[in-house]
Amino acid sequence: MGPNIASSCDSTVLILARDDTGIAAGSAGLKGYGIPFQGLAIPQAGAPLPELFSGSKGNFGAIIIFDAIAYEYTDGWRSAVTTEQWDAIHKYQLAFGVRMVRINE
């Protein structure tokens, strides 16, 4: 995955939530300050993540996770984000110095 330390990162905030209501709640303050964001509603079946980086440039300056993106499955509650996707997010955070905020867990 990408460089050890990013040369640059966009200021866009990535909001991952279960639905548009979560995206709206996670973006309310950002809108008030004119901070750009991209929301992704992840259904129970899961969804691909947006491209986190391009070369040595990070596409997101922060990540907001709303409601843990958790759903009830037959084996209990868990996130619709896969282990591989969480690993990619965490590697991105380390490589690009990006912070994550988890809301309403």
Round to whole Å and give the CA distance between 41 and 97.
24
pLDDT in the model for residue 41: 98
| String of DSSP letters for 19-76 | SHHHHHHHHHHHHHTT--EEEEE--TT--PPPP-EETTEES-SEEEEEGGGEEEETTE
Among 6-10, 13-17, 26-30, the least confident range = 6-10
pTM (two decimals): 0.91
Among 1-5, 12-16, 17-21, 55-59, the least confident range = 1-5
pLDDT in the model for residue 86: 98
Topology of the domain comprising 8-103: Rossmann fold (3.40.50)
pLDDT in the model for residue 6: 58
Tens of pLDDT, residue by residue over 19-76, are: 999 999 999 999 999 999 999 999 999 999 999 999 889 999 999 999 999 999 999 9
